[in-house]
Amino acid sequence: MNNKKEKFARAGMVAKGAVYAIIGLLTAMAAFNLGGSKSGSDNVLQFLGQQSYGKVLLGVLALGLFGYTFYRFYEAINGPGDSWSELKGFFKRAGYIVSGFFYGALGYTAAKMVLGNSSASGGSDSMVSTLMSKPYGPYLVGFVALCLAGKAIFQLYKAYSGKFREDVQESDLSSKEQKTLIRAGKIGFTARGIVSGIVAFLFFKVALGEGGDTGGKVAAFEFLQNNFGASVMGIVALGLVAYAVFMFIQAKYAQIRI
């Protein structure tokens, strides 16, 4: 039974990697005038749905994302390391739960698209607008921004401390795979940190009443293009592809304790 759970978790890592690969590739193509478009998670579902056997692809992705959700919740409840009672453990495990809910919601949307009951459409802007109309809204949006800023810092820390290597059994990797893992991890986590940092900045602007776009990764890519040029946007997007490569390697060699 544990072996089936482990395979389910590894499938989840592959699914997460696929999401980042498509986001990065579509955005990089847009940056270098090769087609594509600035993309986020919703765009990935739209893209897959438009392909031949789109519903099959969406169904496979949904199943994989549910696998990743299962793994994140399992880590939060039964994973090794610092416990809920410790400050470090509390934030780490809480982060697993938030991540699990996000990928579970994405998987649920993909599953609904397979059944023809939904289409992928981002609701972040409307949700934030509703929040901002409430007296407590700016504080909640500011809290979200603070969490995103913390995530950005943590991603950059993982990139340059090498912490991303801890959950991979590197002894099983060939020297070529190990080099690829390290390069993809450093580049990928750096790109994730940059994107999360920009999204946090945009949320802070909204919370302070200075306007801004809360459209997630798409808004972050637009910010990069408008302020630093399409080439920089494309480089960061390719960094997300590198993160996808890291996830594919992790899926095969991760130390999963179930």
Domain containing 232 equals: 3-253
Mean pLDDT computed over 117-140? 68
Mean pLDDT computed over 148-174? 89
Residue 211, in any domain of the structure: yes
Q: Whole-angstrom Cα distance, residue 225 to residue 244?
A: 22
> Of 102, 105, 80, nearest to 93 (Cα)?
80
Residue 126: what pLDDT? Answer: 57
Residue 186: what pLDDT? Answer: 96
The vertex-68 CA angle with 8 and 153, nearest 5°, equals 145
Report the amino acid identity of residue 230.
Answer: A
pLDDT in tens, 87-123: 777 877 888 888 888 899 999 999 999 988 666 665 5
Contact 250, 168 (CB under 8 A): yes
Confidence of residue 29 (pLDDT cuts 50, 70, 90): very high
Residue 125: what pLDDT? Answer: 57
pLDDT in tens, 171-221: 888 888 899 999 999 999 999 999 999 999 998 888 887 776 667 899 999
Confidence of residue 134 (pLDDT cuts 50, 70, 90): confident
Contact 30, 36 (CB under 8 A): yes
CA 240 vs. chain centroid, Å, equals: 9
Mean pLDDT computed over 245-257? 89
**pLDDT(156) > 60:** yes
Residue 123: what pLDDT? Answer: 52
Residue 75, in any domain of the structure: yes
Residue 207, in any domain of the structure: yes
Output the six-digit token pair for 45: 């579902």
Residue 175, in any domain of the structure: yes
Within 115-174, where are the H helices?
A: 124-132, 137-161
**pLDDT(1) > 60:** no
Residue 18, in any domain of the structure: yes
Residue 107: what pLDDT? Answer: 94
Q: Whole-angstrom Cα distance, residue 202 to residue 144?
A: 11
Output the six-digit token pair for 5: 């759970």
Mean pLDDT computed over 41-68? 93
Residue 216: what pLDDT? Answer: 83
Residue 233, in any domain of the structure: yes
Mean pLDDT computed over 232-255? 94
**pLDDT(38) > 80:** yes
Mean pLDDT computed over 33-56? 91
Residue 258, in any domain of the structure: no
Q: Whole-angstrom Cα distance, residue 138 to residue 206?
A: 8
Mean pLDDT computed over 35-62? 92
Residue 141: what pLDDT? Answer: 80
Mean pLDDT computed over 17-32? 96
Residue 128: what pLDDT? Answer: 67
Of all residues in the chain, the percent with pLDDT exceeding 70 is 89
Mean pLDDT computed over 56-60? 95
Q: Whole-angstrom Cα distance, residue 123 to residue 120?
A: 9
Question: Mean of the per-residue pLDDT values for the chain?
Answer: 87
Q: Which residue has the higher pLDDT, 229 or 147?
A: 229
* Number of structural domains in the chain: 1
Residue 98, in any domain of the structure: yes
